[in-house]
Structure 1
Amino acid sequence: MYVADARTASESSGPGPHPGRTLGPLPAADTRAVARPAARTVLRAVPHTVLVLGTVSLITDVSSEMVTAVLPLYLVAELGLSPLGFGLLDGVYNGVSALVRLVGGHLADRGRRHKTTAALGYGLSALCKPALLAVHSVPLIGAVLAVDRMGKGLRTAPRDAMISLAAPPEAQGRSFGVHRAMDTTGALLGPLTAFFVLRTAAGGFDAVFVVSFCIATMGVLVLLLFAPGRVPAPAPPSGAAVTPAPATGRPAAAAATVSVRAALALLGRPHLRRLTGCAFVLGLATVSDSFVYLLLQRRLDLSERWFPLLPLGTAGAFLLLAVPLGHAADRFGRWRVFLAGHLGLLVAYGLLLAPTHATGEPVGPVTVAGLVVAGLPVAVLVLHGAFYAATDGVLMAAAAGSVPAELRASGLALVQTGQAGARFGCSLSFGAVWTAWGSHTALIVATVTLATCVAASAFIRPIAVPIAAPNAAGETI
């Protein structure tokens, strides 16, 4: 429906024959009056597919963030895990996802089974929630987390491919921003739900895992019942000619061969290769969210019962800024917004290194110094959320324009894999440095590394081309 509406508006604006369906002649004055508002309406609308996938992500993130909010405390305080051990588990948590994203992208592109592959990933992650009830040793917990991340790896690229295929090229950033805002609403509700479950339920952590499983099951059902089985190719930009399908009778997307070799060959495109390289380099200095929250908890000497609320600051900023920054990326350049997000993260690391945060003492009475100590964590969490709002969906929007529709999931998976693999290495190294020399030294190393990586990425920046008018290779940024 979205594609048909876009073509209707385009084909009715101006004289002369147009390929495809026509609406009949209209007087010149009426044509302008009808076509322009229709075009503006189409460009501003959010595709139905994006809203459905956003709802699925919202529900699923309530479930997953319930576990994520209590997991660091459960492993470190309940099981006595060292920072190095937690860094290893956290690396597995993200690294396994990186390894299977290419598989998920390839399975989705073969036969355009985006929904089926995504549903498999969501279902696998849902089944892991009750499994946490039965395991209490670190190796078994690591195995369950690895399977959970396999589910995330399978679903991420197909889901993002469905979003990019449903949205017009000039509104990719906005569409991903809307999806990420809905996703982050779940991330905001998840820690709150975990907080209330921990305070009211007798089972403690076990109760959190049970409630998380029930919510995750709802997300899978919404995907199966309401998401379209196949997503049509996106509408062309306003004023662009509509290219008819080949004479073979098959869609243009089906004419190309989907294979692992074809997916890897996408890195031959300069824009996608440089974008993947930058995502990898910057991921090497992106400290895990869990480590950021542990640092804040220890610096402020927060009670364990308040720990699940720390992610709310990040999620709240992400929610408020996802759509505005997505729109800004469409208007001013996706690469600029992406790099600016990492500069914000660099400032957040600097605030964590401030002397008032290095004492580890509880927040004192209401004084000027006390207000500064209380205000810095808020600033850190807001910058942390702004970082995700400027990078998460924006990176996918920047990459989508360089990948043909028939390889969309595979191409996005390449970028995601590079980024997730680098963050896996960062979790391991940060945990090792923390264990050997302390958290302050580990954060100094991460800050210096991030500053270096931002400078390197600014130097090797991807080739910028106009957003609303892709070049011959289909590249946009």
Structure 2
Amino acid sequence: MKQISRAVWILSLVSLFTDMASEMLYPIMPLYLKQIGFSIFLIGILEGFAEATAGLSKGYFGQRSDISGKRTPFVQMGYALSAISKPMLALFVFPVWIFFSRTIDRLGKGILTGARDAILSAEATPANKARIFGFHRSMDTLGAVFGPALALVYLYYFPNDYFHLFIIAFLPGMIAVGATFLLKKDKNTPPKQVDKKGFFSFLNYWKTSDSHYRKLLVGLLAFALVNSSDVFLLLQLKQSGMTDTAVIGIYIFYNFIYALCAYPLGILADRMGLKNTFVFGLCLFAIVYFGFALNDHFVVYIVLFVLYGIYGAATEGISKAWITNICKSNETATAVGTYTALQSISAMVASSLTGFIWFQYGSTAAFLFSAIATSIVIAYFISIPPSQKVLNVSPAETLNPQLS
């Protein structure tokens, strides 16, 4: 833990409390929306619009962070918007207001993501980059364990009392916002001059980025196009005969496995290589989806969710560590923002495609499609030669060529 700096601890605790607030509401959000009159179709439009807002804003605000040379204000503003959105959902039930509240929440996510990951990258060296991102993901995902667990306990004693649950979720959100003010102020960095500053100008980064970044992004986005929402896995559990409580319990269990493994796998990735660890995670993903396509036994589902938690721990933080190692330090937020923006759009396409295949041909075909397509993506990553090029390095850092 000596390699975990004060800034990393602060950002990790902020993410833990923020995710606790968000995930406290995640399992009950569809129930609440249906209670106030939202149809399934309208819920789909709401979530799609909110995720599109988050995705595109990640790229734009990541670039703005690099242009301004500032990180902390973006982090503070993003987490503040996310916290404020929680009680807003309970104040009024008008569809327009609900859309506004959810958009505020996802906009906050978009504002903070690139700047936060840039800070994490700056607090690491190429030798411990995966460890730092793994620790942050572990703490973040602990919030996804505590949040739903608290929601289940509260709703057990106060069934259907969604109003007060939204108010309660505001508290950890505000703790997170307060903690962001413990971050040190940004150094006075001269703004970076760019010609194009439009909302979609971050897409121009593809042209100016290093070839290693482009090759990596192709593989990451190809995987994102077949990596549909976890909702489909939970839906399969529900269709297998499990109760709602059991399904939510398995979701909490998955997040616990993820949180438990993210930091150790980050340490392993720094030693064994980011690429090797990431490919290992993709292999687990393919196994899980093959399992969901061919299995209908409760015990096997438990084992598959253990593997799924390890997959998440071996890929999400690792991918960001990989990206930040092969971009310039003054372009980190843009590089991460461009990736996460395109990833969000790809995830929307993936969920739509999976839903279509499920509707037309059944769940087995949907899961087999994702598993087989992921196998092709694995072959692509294996074909990428290990990169020894490190671009994101501060003057005080000692280069370590073990990147991938």
Written as runs of structure 1 = structure 2, the 5 A alignment for 1:142-153 is 142-153=99-110
Between 1:195-204 and 1:330-339, the stretch displaced more is 195-204
Shift of 1:436: 4.3
Pick closer, same or farther for the CA change 1:274–1:385 going to 2, 3 Å: same
Residue number among 307, 321, 329 corresponding to 1:383 in the alignment? 307
Match of 2:165 in 1: 208
Which digits, 9 at most, give the CA deviation of each residue in 1:325-371, with x for residues without a partner?
1112111111221122121111111221224x2xxxxxxxxxxxxxx
Pick closer, same or farther for the CA change 1:431–1:393 going to 2, 3 Å: same
SS state at 2:127 partner: helix
Structure 1 contact 271–462 (Cα < 8 Å) conserved: no
Residue number among 386, 399, 402 corresponding to 1:469 in the alignment? 399
Pick closer, same or farther for the CA change 1:192–1:264 going to 2, 3 Å: same
Match of 1:286 in 2: 227
Mapped to 1, the partners of 2:231 and 2:369 lie a distance apart of 17
Shift of 1:296: 1.5
Shift of 1:380: 2.2
Shift of 1:434: 3.3
Match of 2:286 in 1: 346
Structure 1 contact 280–421 (Cα < 8 Å) conserved: no
For structure 2, the residue ranges without an aligned partner over 5 or more in a row are 391-397
Which digits, 9 at most, give the CA deviation of each residue in 1:42-66, with x for residues without a partner?
xx52111101100100110100111
Written as runs of structure 1 = structure 2, the 5 A alignment for 1:240-279 is 254=190, 257=193, 264=205, 267-279=208-220
Residue number among 178, 181, 186 corresponding to 1:230 in the alignment? 186
Pick closer, same or farther for the CA change 1:287–1:323 going to 2, 3 Å: same
**Percent identity between the aligned chains?**
25
Question: Which AA in structure 2 matches 1:51?
Answer: W
Residue number among 245, 251, 256 corresponding to 1:316 in the alignment? 256
Structure 2 contact 71–119 (Cα < 8 Å) conserved: yes
Structure 1 contact 275–462 (Cα < 8 Å) conserved: no
Pick closer, same or farther for the CA change 1:454–1:476 going to 2, 3 Å: closer
Shift of 1:202: 5.0
Question: Which AA in structure 1 matches 2:184?
Answer: P
Written as runs of structure 1 = structure 2, the 5 A alignment for 1:11-160 is 44-74=2-32, 81-82=39-40, 88-134=45-91, 136=93, 141-160=98-117
Between 1:65-74 and 1:437-446, the stretch displaced more is 437-446
Mapped to 1, the partners of 2:299 and 2:117 lie a distance apart of 36
Structure 1 contact 86–431 (Cα < 8 Å) conserved: no
Shift of 1:81: 4.5
Residue number among 366, 374, 387 corresponding to 1:442 in the alignment? 366
How many residue pairs end up in the alignment? 392
Mapped to 2, the partners of 1:79 and 1:313 lie a distance apart of 31
For structure 1, the residue ranges without an aligned partner over 5 or more in a row are 1-40, 232-250, 358-372
SS state at 2:27 partner: helix
Pick closer, same or farther for the CA change 1:435–1:78 going to 2, 3 Å: farther
Structure 2 contact 57–107 (Cα < 8 Å) conserved: yes
Q: Which has the larger radius of gyration?
A: 1
Pick closer, same or farther for the CA change 1:376–1:73 going to 2, 3 Å: farther
Between 1:427-436 and 1:119-128, the stretch displaced more is 427-436
Between 1:56-65 and 1:414-423, the stretch displaced more is 414-423
Mapped to 2, the partners of 1:178 and 1:432 lie a distance apart of 37
Shift of 1:160: 0.6
Pick closer, same or farther for the CA change 1:89–1:438 going to 2, 3 Å: farther
SS state at 1:415 partner: helix
Mapped to 2, the partners of 1:119 and 1:89 lie a distance apart of 25
The answer to whether residue 107 in structure 2 is matched with residue 166 in structure 1 is no
Shift of 1:465: 1.5
Mapped to 1, the partners of 2:235 and 2:62 lie a distance apart of 33
RMSD of the alignment, in Å? 2.9
Question: Which AA in structure 2 matches 1:413?
Answer: G
Which digits, 9 at most, give the CA deviation of each residue in 1:95-115, with x for residues without a partner?
321100012212222332211
Mapped to 1, the partners of 2:84 and 2:13 lie a distance apart of 20
Relative to the length of structure 1, the TM-score reads 0.74
